[in-house]
Structure formats: C-alpha cells, structure tokens
C-alpha cells in the first residue's frame, strides 16, 4: 500500500473515501456523514435482530409492565415536546389515511373478482341460446361500468 493511501477507506453507503483512525482502519465501514452513520446503525440493528429473534418477545412484557407503572408518561412527553407531537400526529394521520385507502382498495378488488366470477359463470352455464348469454354478459358489464362511474364521482375523504 502506498504511503499516501494508508488509512483511506471507501464508505459502504455513499462510496466516498474517508480517512480513518489507525486503530479502526480495517473495521470502520462508514464515513462521518450523519446519513451514512444512520444507515450503518440501521443495518447493524437489523443484523443484530436477525441473530437474536426472540428479543422482541422477551422485551414486550417488560415494556407493558413499565407502561402500566408510568401511565401518563407519553401525555407529559407530548406536552413538553410539541414538535415531536406534531410530527407524530402527522405520521398517524398519514398511516390512518393509507389504511382507509387500503381497505377501500381491497374491497374494490374483491367486488371486481365477484363480477368477473359472474361473467365466467354466465359463459360456462351451457345455455343453448347465445342471445340470452350475451344479454346477461352485457348486463353484468354495464353494472360494473356504472359502479366505476359512481365510485369516480364520489368525493374523496376530507383530510382532518
């Protein structure tokens, strides 16, 4: 190794070179940038949890016990830290909104599958008169299209 490149490492996250201290030369994987340090910590935590799968289960009863003995902790914390409270409130609103949209989307998919099943059932009933089958298929398709138009005309939920 050349004298000028001794102690230079490449950051695993941003791929910039950085000079490390002599005692951490081989072990250090991330530069000093906060984004790289956060990514390194996140990776280390993920790796540690994968090697210790029972940690969360053993920790939950202890956390519940602590929460019971400190019932007003979060109320006081939010009052003393309004910026945290606002961020958390916005996060919870977005999460709730996404779950409502997801539930509506899942309901819509289930209804779509039911309509397609009706169409398939009509075509496999073995009617001899093709006219009856075609009329029924057209009726189901029209019902489906009317439902799409009706759902598109509904106003979206107002964000609270």
SS3 readout for 46-77:
HHHHHHCCCHHHHHHHHHHHHHHHCCCHHHHH
pTM of the complete model beyond 0.85? no
What integer pLDDT is reported at residue 118 of this predicted model?
74
What integer pLDDT is reported at residue 33 of this predicted model?
92
Residue 38 tokens, joined: 């956060």
pLDDT values of the chain reduced to their tens digit, one per residue, 160 residues = 444 566 688 899 999 998 877 776 667 889 889 999 999 999 999 999 999 988 888 899 999 999 999 999 989 999 999 999 999 999 999 988 888 878 777 777 787 778 777 766 665 555 555 555 566 667 777 777 777 766 655 555 555 4
């Amino acid at each position: 190794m050349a004298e000028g490149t001794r102690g230079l490492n490449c950051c695993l996250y941003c791929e910039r070179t950085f000079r490390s201290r002599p005692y951490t030369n081989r072990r250090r994987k991330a530069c000093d940038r906060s984004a790289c340090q956060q990514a390194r910590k996140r990776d280390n935590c993920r790796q540690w949890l994968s090697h210790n799968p029972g940690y969360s289960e053993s920790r939950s009863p202890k956390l519940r016990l602590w929460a019971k003995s400190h019932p007003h902790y979060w109320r006081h914390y939010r009052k003393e830290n309004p910026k945290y409270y606002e961020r958390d409130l916005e996060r919870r609103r977005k999460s709730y909104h996404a779950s409502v949209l997801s539930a509506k989307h899942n309901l819509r998919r289930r209804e779509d599958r039911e309509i397609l099943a009706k169409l398939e059932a009509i075509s496999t009933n073995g009617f001899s008169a093709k006219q009856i089958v075609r009329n029924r298929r057209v009726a189901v398709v029209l019902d489906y299209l009317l439902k799409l138009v009706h759902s598109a005309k509904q106003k979206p939920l107002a964000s609270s």
